[in-house]
Amino acid sequence: MKTYIVQRLAIALLTLLGMSIVIFALLRLAPGDIVDILFSTAGYISDSEKQAIMKELGIDRPYVVQYLDWLHQIVTGDLGKSYRYDLPAWEVIRPLVPVTLELAALSMIFAVLMGVPTGVVSAVRQDTALDYALRVFSLAGLSMPAFWLGMVIILGLVSWFAWIPPITYVSPAKDLKLHAIQFLLPALAVGYRSSALIMRITRSSLLEVMREDYIRTAWAKGQTGRIVIWRHALKNALLPVVTVIGIEFAFLIGGLVVTETVFNLPGVARFLVQAILWRDYPVVQNLVMFTAIVVILSNLIVDMLYGVLDPRVRYGG
Amino acid sequence: MAVRPATIAVPARAHPTFAPWTAVARFVRKKPLGAAGGALMLLMLVTALFADILQTHDPIATNAAYTLGRPNLEHLLGTDHLGRDIYSRIVHGARVSLVVGVASTLLGSVLGGIVGLLSGYVGGKTDLITQRVLDILQGLPLLVLALVMSAALGPSVQNVVIAISIPIVPRAARVIRASVLSIREMQYIEAARSLGVQHLRIAFRHILPNTIGPFIVLCTAQLGSAILVEATLSYLGLGVPEPYPSWGRMLSVSAAEYAQKAPHLVLFPGLAISLAVFASNLLGDALRDTLDPRLRGS
């Protein structure tokens, strides 16, 4: 058990190191840099001035030095300075984190609450009209762009209820009810999409388990359908579902990028888009790295959960 | 002792000819939803091919006299804030969506397929290292990766295709590798090797053709997500640049501003995206059930 965890952690660290190289390299592919962008708004600035700014920002140094410097910063917890805001990157990001976390958590809750029950119903009523309807419903969730769904929700509210959702961020301390509404709608838009994947995997995994002998035994003992399905079958069927929920976290972040933009929520994801457009290397680098860490962590947690949920996987291999 | 040739019964035609139309008819009967998806994809293809004929107006011609116009007989789906005909823009948008979607899916799948083929065939340390590298690529959220890439490469159709295709590579490599691993152990491969056939020839001539089933399934499944990513990138202003009408860009900030005055500005392009992705998902699911029984229902 202990060696297993150590092994997994070592792999996770190596993967993160690799990711940091990929992220760093990708950003250096960019044709322009922050200095060019700042200049294009400020008009002409002489070459010597440009050199001075580049030196100040530290982007005149060789890439290897810049990369090692960045790694050192990550390890020491110093995230560097945002070129654009002239503030420490962490100070720019910090107030945005709770918004995104809240939205992500709410979306995930929506996704599980919608996905698992519909998946179960769909599997139990396999090949009925209800099954087809639920499958089409979930496939529709996979097909609609999250930002469009968000726009349609806002549009619907405005035209049917003549109610305009708050355009600026409302803090929970100021008005809890308004804050809740402000978050529930985008969470619904993001969660619907994730619920589709969860529904599909729940359905297929439950169908597979239902064919097994021990389920037939349970039926033969005369147990009611509800107990067989929810107690015996679902317990084993949930294993792949947990995996998907872990993977889903990565997709969720993608969904948040656009949803935060549509609903005008000051979260990390929306900020990422702006930082990318500004080529604000420290901020983008650190945000994408942050995403990578979240993804790796959620995968790690899923792996650990496996052992808890399935006694057969007690970290043997 | 003389050996007398034995007389055995041989079927008149050992290899019945493959009848594509029978296969299609069977698919339609067995998978009505998948066939509906296929029909929609076909419709999109026809629209993209004949966009110039199907258009009623020039998709990029502005008309200051008729902005934010409601749908009517002259402008079937109304006009946008610059007076451009939305129907014609959607028809041309199908072209952009399909070209970017198909090109990036093919590029990503072929690259990933080759990586998966070699990694699975060579095995050993090469395979292990390749898998770890793919882990790294796959660990980053698809959209975030595409976003950073397209921003780094700059706005052009080519760069958008590259940006969308890179996240597909690890997924394709996984699928092809898994199928190569099982084919590699088959007897006919052993036979080929004992005949002294070169490794590369075995990989590309004897193994590759047998991965076509999973490959088709993979492509159809990725096409939907590629179209979706293109729309999202364009929506965020990092996708296909002007003047190409892209469904995603039609929904961008300027459209959102006028959404209340002219809801058709938001509704129709979004419906087009959803329908296209929905169709390719339906088709992908049905093809997977038909071509790759091992993945059934997953």
Inter-chain contact A147–B251, Cβ cutoff 8 Å? Answer: yes
Count CA atoms closer than 13 A to B104's CA, side-chain side. Answer: 32
**Nearest CB partner across the interface for B152, out of A27, A152, A207:** A27
pLDDT digits (tens, 9 = 90+) for A205-225: 888 888 888 888 888 887 777
Instruction: Return the amino acid letter for B35.
Output: A
B136, B258, B273, best to mutate vs chain A, most A CBs in 10 Å: B136
* DSSP assignments along chain B, one per residue: -PPPPPP----S-SSPPP-HHHHHHHHHHH-HHHHHHHHHHHHHHHHHHTHHHH-SS-TT---TTS-SPPP-SSSTT-B-TT--BHHHHHHHHHHHHHHHHHHHHHHHHHHHHHHHHHHHHH-HHHHHHHHHHHHHHHHS-HHHHHHHHHHHH-SSHHHHHHHHHTTHHHHHHHHHHHHHHHHHTSHHHHHHHHTT--HHHIIIIIIGGGGHHHHHHHHHHHHHHHHHHHHHHHHTT-SSPTTS--HHHHTSHHHHHHTTT-THHHHHHHHHHHHHHHHHHHHHHHHHHHH-GGGTT-
Cβ atoms B266, B256 nearer than 8 A: yes
Instruction: Give the pLDDT of residue B150.
Output: 80
Question: What number is the ipTM of this complex?
Answer: 0.80
CA distance A209 to A234: 8
Cβ of B297 within 8 Å of Cβ of A27? The answer is no
Which bin fits A190, alpha (ψ -120 to 50), beta or left (φ > 0)?
alpha
Q: How far is B7 from chain A (nearest CA, A)?
A: 47
Q: In B, residues 226-265, which contact A (CB 8 Å cutoff)?
A: 228, 231-232, 235-238, 248, 251, 256, 259-260, 263
Select the residue of B136, B251, B274 nearest A15 (Cβ to Cβ).
B136
> Is the Cβ–Cβ distance between B230 and B100 less than 8 Å?
yes
What is the model's pLDDT at position A85? 74
- C-beta atoms of B141 and A261 within 8 A: no
Q: How confident is chain B (298 residues) per 10-residue block, as mean pLDDT? A: 70 63 80 86 88 77 71 73 80 90 94 91 87 81 80 80 88 88 86 88 86 84 89 85 82 71 82 92 83 53
Across the interface, whether the CB atoms of A258 and B260 are under 8 A apart is answered no
Task: Name the region of A77 (left: φ>0; alpha: ψ -120 to 50; beta: rest).
Answer: left
* Contact (Cβ atoms closer than 8 angstroms) between residue A243 and residue A302: yes
Other C-beta atoms within 10 Å of A56: how many? 12
pLDDT value of residue B287: 83
Cβ of A14 within 8 Å of Cβ of B132? The answer is: yes
Tokens of B61: 């011609």
Q: Which pLDDT does position B59 carry in this prediction?
A: 75
Give the CA-trace dihedral at B150, B151, B152, B153, to 10 degrees. 50
| Residue/partner pairs of B209-215 with CB below 8 Å, 24 or more apart | B210/B179, B210/B183, B211/B113, B211/B117, B211/B176, B211/B179, B211/B180, B211/B183, B213/B179, B213/B291, B213/B292, B214/B175, B214/B176, B214/B178, B214/B179, B214/B291, B214/B292, B214/B295, B215/B109, B215/B113, B215/B175, B215/B176
Give B-chain residues touching A257 at CB under 8 angstroms: 143-144, 147, 232, 236
Instruction: Report d(CA B228, CA B236) in Å as an integer.
Output: 12
pLDDT tens string, chain A, 317 residues long: the values are 677 778 888 888 888 888 888 888 877 776 666 666 666 555 566 677 777 777 766 667 778 888 888 888 877 777 777 777 777 777 878 888 888 888 888 998 999 999 999 998 888 888 888 888 898 888 888 888 888 888 888 888 877 777 666 667 777 777 777 788 788 888 888 888 888 888 988 888 888 888 888 888 888 887 777 777 777 788 778 877 887 787 777 677 777 888 888 888 888 888 888 888 777 777 788 888 888 888 888 878 877 777 677 666 554 44
Token representation of residue B74: 């002259």
Q: Could you tell me if B27 lies within 8 Å of chain A, comparing CB atoms?
A: no
Distance (Å, whole) CA B298 – CA B285: 9
Of B150, B251, B277, B141, whose CA–CA distance to A255 is shortest? B141
CA–CA separation, A174 vs A132, rounded Å? 45
Express each pLDDT in A77-101 by its tens digit: 777 777 777 777 778 788 888 888 8
B273 touches chain A (CB under 8 A): yes
Whether residues A258 and B236 touch (CB distance < 8 A) is answered with: yes
**Best of A151, A197, A279, A285 to mutate (most B CBs within 10 Å, chain B):** A151
